[in-house]
A = this chain, B = another copy of it.
């Protein structure tokens, strides 16, 4: 792999652990915790140029660059993070950490429970987006950063960004909130519930205790396939696959793969199993279902009333998982509170995944928003 111009180059994942327990929203005192994280660019002397990038359901700390020159792909948001890019590493110190409950280096259900010396499995505590953010705050404190220049993310990452602005109002100068929602809809919960059922229905799931045996590969693959459909728009699926056949010229009247879209989905399911833990999938989707800023704080206005951030909200025209109108209404609520808010609905065909795929407008809008925040410092 030739590392492309504009890349942050070769990076490595770092680890930060803390022994003291933190109080989770469910009342449990939990610890110790290890956090996997990466950083790109340099923290300036004033320590006021840090951007915390928050990842989505299946993401990890590896947001940009390459772990080795052999890597086939760069980090998950490499298009947005690097010299001259939206999150410009020539100006900003970009941090990304795997969240609590994950399976990419940060403590989660697959981690060893020190009380039993076995993986937590379903004994892992049911966590919330607020708990994820609390752990991230520990990391930021550890790095000696008092105030984040920006907290930014799409999808579940956007939920964390909002939660940061609300939970630590003095510590977030700006927030970039993309393709997300202030509370999951009944339809969102329904899709998550079906995915979780697919996992727990797999006999290999074995009540979450599978780390010494076969993993619930079929269940997890199914869960991913279901979710993956919701990440794409009907339009993008039509353009990408239509009714094109896979390696054949006509339908062959059997249950083998007939259409390209079937082949693609099965591949998505299978490859997800190689890189993700089924129990993490259960806990993270549950945290998403529980995310509800309205209920948690009494109302959306009440949730945001003490925030000190400048906000950029971005939605995408074809995102049917988290439809644009909801973020538009959120932006309106914040405006009515007198907050500084920018809202853009970007016309893009890629559905929910647009936050990872739309390169025409999104980077410019983010870049300009961050420049504006800088100027006012």
Interface residues of A (CB under 8 A from B): 25-26, 122, 125-126, 183-187, 189-191, 193-194, 196-198, 200-203, 218-219, 221-222, 225-226, 229, 232, 234, 237-238, 240-243, 251, 253-255, 258-259, 261-262, 265-266, 269, 282, 286, 289-290, 292, 295, 320, 323
Q: Shortest distance in angstroms between A326's beta carbon and chain B's nearest beta carbon? A: 10
Q: Are B243 and A190 in contact (CB under 8 A)?
A: no
**B193 touching A261, Cβ below 8 Å:** yes
CB-based contact A265/B194 at 8 Å:
yes
Q: A189-B262, A218-B201 are in contact. Are A194 and B243 (CB under 8 A)?
A: no
Q: Is chain A's interface secondary structure helix, strand, loop, or mixed overall? A: helix
**A94 to B235 Cα, complex, angstroms:** 39
- A196: chain B residues at CB < 8 Å are 255
Residues of B within 8 A of A238 (CB): 185-187
Q: Could you write out 23 A-B pairs with CB less than 8 Å apart?
A: A25-B253, A26-B253, A125-B253, A185-B237, A186-B234, A186-B237, A186-B240, A186-B241, A187-B238, A189-B262, A190-B237, A190-B261, A191-B229, A193-B262, A193-B265, A194-B222, A196-B255, A197-B221, A197-B266, A201-B218, A201-B219, A234-B320, A255-B282
Judge whether A243 and B292 touch: CB under 8 Å.
yes
A226 → chain B, closest Cβ, in Å?
5
Report the separation of the CA atoms of residues A265 and B194 in the bound assembly, to the nearest whole angstrom: 8
Residues of B within 8 A of A184 (CB): 243
B320 contacts A243, C-beta separation under 8 Å: no
Name the contact of A194 in the complex, choosing from B125, B225, B254 (C-beta under 8 A): B225
Least Cβ–Cβ distance between A187 and chain B, in angstroms: 5
Count copies of this chain in the complex.
Answer: 2
Q: Which residues of B contact A254 (CB under 8 A)?
A: 126
Most B C-beta atoms less than 10 A away, residue of A122, A262, A295 = A262
Contact indicator B253/A126 (Cβ below 8 Å): yes
Given A194-B222, A243-B295, A251–B290 Cβ distance below 8 Å?
yes
Query: Which B residues lie within 8 Å of A198 (CB)?
Result: 198, 222
Residues from chain B with Cβ under 8 Å of A193 in the complex: 225, 259, 261-262, 265-266
Instruction: State how many angstroms separate the Cβ of A134 from the closest Cβ of chain B.
Output: 15
Closest to A241 in B: B186
- Which residues of chain B come closer than 8 Å to A295, judged between CB atoms? 243
Q: Which of B234, B242, B253 contacts A323 (CB 8 A)?
A: B234
The smallest C-beta distance from A146 to any residue of chain B, in angstroms, reads: 31
A190-B265 in contact given A198-B222, A243-B295, A289-B259 (Cβ < 8 Å): yes
Known: A183-B243, A201-B222. 16 other contacts (CB 8 A): A122-B255, A126-B253, A185-B234, A186-B234, A186-B242, A190-B229, A190-B261, A193-B225, A193-B262, A194-B222, A198-B198, A201-B202, A201-B218, A201-B219, A258-B289, A258-B290
In the complex the two chains form, what is the Cα distance from A183 to B251 in whole Å?
14
CB distance from A163 to the nearest CB of B (A): 16
Instruction: List the B side residues contacting A265 at CB < 8 Å.
Output: 190, 193-194
Q: Let me know if A187 and B225 touch, CB within 8 A.
A: no
